Amino acid sequence: MWVIADIRWTAALLLALTALVVVVALGGPMWVSVSEGDWLDAMMRAVLAEQANEGPFWGTFAPYVAQLEVVRGYLLNGDTAAVYVAMNRLMDMLEGRENGILPEVADRLFDYCYLVTPAKYHDVSRHIDRFIGHQFGDIAG
């Protein structure tokens, strides 16, 4: 029974790694067809959904919503460089679990950011480095 579970786990891991390699090789998730502004709306909806579930500690996600509004302002002005900086600030916030958000929620939003945000608006290598760290541990140390 353990052998079957190990085989299934290994197959799932290989499938996930293959999917990641394909996504990276193609420059992003090709199955997600979003227009220039839809990705930001999707990210905002994800943060608002987490905010709706936050329970008794209301306000935890307010800085994240505010940061996405900053991104929206730069996007509306067509300032790609500022959008890039602002989205990476959002990723810093998620990685630092700023304002006390749960690690699982931060990880979920961080990963979702990779799926929906066009590569020109955030540092894609951060996602890949994080994935490698989760899979193989700290290689540098």
Residue ranges covered by each domain of the chain: 1-31, 32-126
**What is residue 13's predicted lDDT score, i.e. its pLDDT?**
43
Question: Which residues in the chain show pLDDT less than 50?
Answer: 3, 9, 11-34, 140-141
pLDDT for 30 = 37
Q: Which long-range contacts (CB under 8 A, 24 or more apart) does 110-117 make?
A: 112/42, 112/43, 112/46, 113/43, 113/87, 115/29, 115/32, 116/32, 116/34, 116/39, 116/42, 116/43, 116/46, 117/39, 117/40, 117/43, 117/87
**pLDDT tens-digit readout, 78-106:** 999 999 999 999 999 999 999 999 999 99
Residues 100/115/42/101 CA torsion (nearest 10 deg): -10
The structure's pTM equals 0.66
